[in-house]
Chain A
Amino acid sequence: DIQMTQSPSTLSASVGDRVTITCRASQNIGNWLDWYQQKPGKAPKLLIYEASVLESGVPSRFSGSGSGTEFTLTISSLQPDDFATYYCQQENSYPWTFGQGTKVEIK
């Protein structure tokens, strides 16, 4: 199975900060990488697919980049609604696997 490793596990930030989350794959996954946001008690929400394509309706402050084994999710200016846990997920090969999550907390 492809292992997905996110860093950091927890991130403390303030409203307006630029935030970057990193996701590393244990082998080359091309650009087959998605990012999800999950709030407590809610289902995940797709933010970005194929590493850099913004899902419809997702604010433009979210962006994704990377290919191969290293990827980043960037929030250009953190908003109150963005405090949540973020997961990366590879869809390159079965079984599709997720990172362990990065919790973005209020500083």
Chain B
Amino acid sequence: QVQLVQSGAEVKKPGASVKVSCKASGYTFTDYYLHWVRQAPGQGLQWVGWINPNSGGTNSAQKFQGRVTMTRDTSITTAYMELSGLKSDDTAIYYCARDRLASAGTGSFAYWGQGTLVTVSS
């Protein structure tokens, strides 16, 4: 079965960087785009970006461009999202999610990780 297992909670100071991992199993890692979506406490959902694990290509929302770096290590079927220049309003649960369709970034998120809480506080 498809599983996405994320790294544990992080507490960071303003201006720091955080790197969240997403370990995939149960399917061919390079066949499906992986997305990152965040949710501030008690708030709605916000798409951050995607990575194509096959090519390493990425795309992110303009809001995060210049601050977000998405990478992958195919040897261990793991994707990473690093967010730099953290601010207090980056405090959120960060989810990785697998695309619904193979070889496409459809924007439909069929499988989700359990989420990683990132807290930014001085």
Known: A98-B45, A98-B46, A101-B44. A91 touches B113 (CB 8 A): no
- A99 neighbours in B (Cβ, 8 Å): 44
Task: Please measure, in the bound complex, the distance between the C-alpha atom of A78 and the C-alpha atom of B115, giving whole angstroms.
Answer: 28
Q: Please tell me if A49 contacts chain B, counting CB pairs below 8 Å.
A: yes
- A97 neighbours in B (Cβ, 8 Å): 47
62-120 of chain B: CB within 8 A of chain A: 62-63, 95, 97, 100, 106-110, 112-115
Known: A49-B100, A97-B47, A101-B44. A91 touches B108 (CB 8 A): yes
- A32 neighbours in B (Cβ, 8 Å): 107
For chain B, which range describes its interface: under 10, 10 to 19, 20 to 34, or 35 or more residues?
20 to 34
Task: Please measure, in the bound complex, the distance between the C-alpha atom of A100 and the C-alpha atom of B59, giving whole angstroms.
Answer: 23
Give the Cβ gap from B79 to chain A, nearest Cβ, in Å: 16
A46→B44 contact, CB < 8 A: no
Task: Please measure, in the bound complex, the distance between the C-alpha atom of A95 and the C-alpha atom of B59, giving whole angstroms.
Answer: 10
Task: Encode contact with B along A66-107: 1 for CB under 8 Å, 0 otherwise.
Answer: 000000000000000000000101110011111111000000
Looking at chain A's contact residues, the main secondary structure is loop
For chain A, which range describes its interface: under 10, 10 to 19, 20 to 34, or 35 or more residues?
20 to 34
Give the Cβ gap from B24 to chain A, nearest Cβ, in Å: 14
Known: A94-B59, A94-B61. A44 touches B109 (CB 8 A): yes
Nearest chain-A residue to B46 (Cβ)? Answer: A98
Task: Please measure, in the bound complex, the distance between the C-alpha atom of A98 and the C-alpha atom of B53, giving whole angstroms.
Answer: 24
